Chain A
Amino acid sequence: MSTIPDASGRFGKFGGKYVPETLMNALIELEEAYTHYAKDPEFQSEVNELLQQYSGRPTPLYYAERLTKHLGGARIYLKREDLNHTGAHKINNTIGQGVLAKRMGKTKIIAETGAGQHGVASATVAALLGLECKVFMGEEDTKRQQLNVFRMQLLGAEVVPVLSGTRTLKDACNETLRYWVSHVEDTYYILGSVTGPHPYPMMVRNFQRIIGDESRRQMLEQVGKLPDYVVAAVGGGSNAIGIFHPFVDDASVRLVGVEAAGRGVETEEHAATMTKGRHGVFQGSMSYVLQDEFGQVLPAHSISAGLDYPGVGPEHAYLKDSGRADYLPITDAEALEALQLLSRKEGIIPALESAHAIAQTMKLAPTLGSDQTIVVSLSGRGDKDVESIMSYLGGDADESH
């Protein structure tokens, strides 16, 4: 199961390359370059060196004792991706793709961003490697995440507000692909999740699997056995695939993806792509898609801008349909409650994305015995969300993100 995708980029029926012919050559070039450098020890050591010396890996696997005691049940371990440079797992991927872009001789990188985390991680790597950087961000998001816009500008990147469609992440992705089509010759597109056309879902997974590789090794070293559950939030799904992938062949380890249920899966305001979506083709791959009955993609909603996306990576669709992983919805309100609990019990303010995984853990842990263990991907820190959390908890109903 861990040898997917196949040569055509398929995870079972999911994945593939559903893009205009104008992009095919760029994707083929990228796949060839990635395949070549993935086997190149010099490339690997440059990436690993940056992950260690620059981003601070390996990140700790931390036993959350007070949270465990509070919930009463399984022992909870937090994989501290929030301790990475720039505050989230996103940098694992941008370091990998940034080094690849440089090896391919590209001088410019582009990236899409929703909340701004992937944009910041891309701008950071661009500064580090001396590349020009443009980040496409929905106009709505640029207003909601002004601090991250400024952060990217401080790092020397240009932030391009996207005015098309819903003016959020999905349209930022469209616009980045459109820009790439016209500038393929000197520009590398750092896609931020395990979504999009092949080879992105495979490549981004491979750059993110370090989360799971480390977690697996750390569990064996620190606890002496594999975890019973691995829990991670899923928007596009890069931190989740990163932590799931190395456990896929360990049949005893249950994999739980947590989707954003927004105001509730029974409402129209959610981002629960796998709970409420159907198979479809969206932004380059076949996967689950939030769509109407005629195949038009629906806008998503979540308190967490990083989960606010109507698609999901094809490997998740495959894990779901094969029964290997379960995907469960968590509402905005449940995520907010989890965020406060973790802050008070452990002194860790999680990102709103990661708070969804904590919320599911709050439901799961008490149903398990104290001899059982849960590893939770704490994908990012909450600093970026403090302002919007403040307005939520302050009861400002106008602030929806």
Chain B
Amino acid sequence: MNRIDAAFAQLRERGETALIPFLTVGDPDRETTIGLIRELEAAGASMIELGVPYSDPLADGPVIQRASARALEHRITVEDCIRVASEARVAGAELPFILFSYFNPILQLGLDRFFELVKAHDISGLIIPDLPIEEDGEVRELAEAADIHLIPLVAPTSSARVAHIASRARGFVYCVSSLGVTGVRSDFHAGLDEFLLGVREATTLPIAIGFGISTPEQVRRFGEQCDGVVVGSAIVRRIEETLPLLTKQETRAEGLAQVGDFVRQLRS
């Protein structure tokens, strides 16, 4: 059974919402990412989105753009990101890994090679933000064959497309909270409740919400409507603020604990 399905099944039994943090792999370096994955799991993360840094992150706001740029200073590749996940697994992480990557780095690695790697290294899900259903045919087939869930995004503007997208979804359906890029915000799309209801009706899979969620209140509010809540930029920003601690060997543990505390508070 795919780890994502198992995680949602367990959460459902306990009546809990999945907390899905996002971080950019290699920000600020690989070792710290492994430490952060372990820390976030201990802080209550149910699964984790591992962002592959990219030079042109079209769907991302300034916080994740900066994280990408920091990680790319070490020329980190898709393959490196998959190996970082694998090392975190060896170090004891049990939560499901969802790789978040723009399409071109995957394409340049080669689709066959990419799916060999994700399968071999226990990646459970895949989000490719610039690969809409019109373009995902080959990736979808390879993902199915490898039992990797290709998790689609639906937006408040997807309207007529929601049913089609949801019908082909695997793992869960990722609902974009508002129009725009990733990043902290206080106001969400006006028709959000209706949008979420529409997605709920279109699928039997769990639904998760993301883009702009940053506070315990928001996590609570959306936890009532959705099965999972993704928190990205708020955590990446916290990592950015903690860089002075994270980048020094003697203070790294303290930095990790501060990021962990932030995630713990989101659950409170």
Q: Which residues of A contact B (CB under 8 A)?
A: 8, 16-22, 24-26, 164-165, 170-171, 174, 177-178, 181-184, 278, 280-284, 289, 291, 293-297
**Docked-complex contact A22 and B130, CB < 8 angstroms:** no
Take A165-B55, A174-B58, A177-B58 as given contacts and tell me if A19 and B132 are in contact as well, using a CB distance cutoff of 8 Å: yes
**B72 → chain A closest CB, angstroms:** 7
With both chains docked as a complex, state the minimum distance between the C-beta of B73 and any C-beta of chain A, in angstroms. Answer: 12
Query: Contacts A21-B154, A21-B158 hold; do A294 and B109 have CB atoms under 8 A apart?
Result: yes
A247 → chain B closest CB, angstroms: 31
B214 at the interface (CB under 8 A from A): no
**Nearest Cβ on chain A to B204's Cβ, whole angstroms:** 20
Q: A25-B158, A283-B58, A296-B72 in contact; A182/B180 too (CB < 8 A)?
A: yes
A170 B157 Cβ-Cβ under 8 A: no
A25 touches B159 (CB 8 A): yes
Q: For residue A20, which residue of chain B has the nearest CB?
A: B59
Interface residues on B, range: 35 or more
Contacts of A281 in B (CB 8 A): 103-104, 107, 130
Q: Which residue of A lies closest to B152 (CB)?
A: A21
B132: A residues at CB distance < 8 A:
17-21, 24
Q: Find out whether the CB atom of A22 lies under 8 angstroms from the CB atom of B179.
A: yes
Task: Let me know if B181 and A293 touch, CB within 8 A.
Answer: no
In angstroms, Cα B103 to Cα A284, docked, is 10
- Whether the pair A182, B158 counts as a contact (CB closer than 8 A) is no
10 closest A-B pairs (Cβ-Cβ)?
A295-B108, A182-B180, A295-B105, A25-B157, A295-B104, A20-B59, A294-B77, A22-B155, A296-B55, A21-B153
Contacting residues, chain A, for B129 (C-beta < 8 A): 20-21
Interface residues of B in 160-178 (CB under 8 A from A): 161, 165, 176
Query: Residue on A with the closest CB to B62?
Result: A164
Question: B72 — which chain A residues lie within 8 A by C-beta?
Answer: 296
Q: Is the interface of A mostly helix, strand, loop or mixed?
A: mixed
Closest CB in chain B relative to A358 CB, distance in Å: 32
B248 interface hit (Cβ, 8 Å): no
23 contacts between A and B (CB under 8 A): A17-B134, A17-B135, A18-B130, A19-B58, A19-B132, A20-B130, A21-B132, A21-B154, A25-B157, A164-B62, A165-B55, A165-B69, A177-B58, A178-B61, A178-B181, A181-B59, A182-B179, A280-B104, A282-B56, A284-B130, A291-B104, A294-B105, A295-B108
Q: Which residue in B65, B105, B152, B179 is a CB contact (below 8 Å) of A164?
A: B65
11 extra interface residue pairs, beta carbon distance < 8 Å, beyond A18-B130, A21-B152: A18-B132, A20-B59, A20-B153, A21-B165, A21-B176, A24-B155, A24-B161, A25-B161, A174-B56, A184-B157, A184-B179
Measured CA separation A18–B133 after assembly (Å): 10
Chain A: which residue is nearest B157 at the CB level? A25
Nearest residue (CB) in B for A27 is B132
The residue of chain A having its C-beta at the shortest distance from the C-beta of B185 within the complex is: A182
Q: By the criterion CB–CB under 8 Å, are B65 and A165 in contact?
A: yes
A184 to B181, CA, bound (A): 13
Q: Is B14 an interface residue, CB under 8 A from the partner?
A: no
Residues of A within 8 A of B130 (CB): 18-20, 281, 284
Q: How far in angstroms is the closest Cβ of chain A from B237? A: 16
A20–B102 Cα distance when bound, in Å, is 10
Q: Does B243 contact A (CB under 8 A)?
A: no
- Kindly list chain A residues whose C-beta atoms are within 8 Å of the C-beta of B56: 165, 170-171, 174, 282-283, 297
Which B residues are in CB contact (< 8 Å) with A24? 132, 134, 155, 157-158, 161
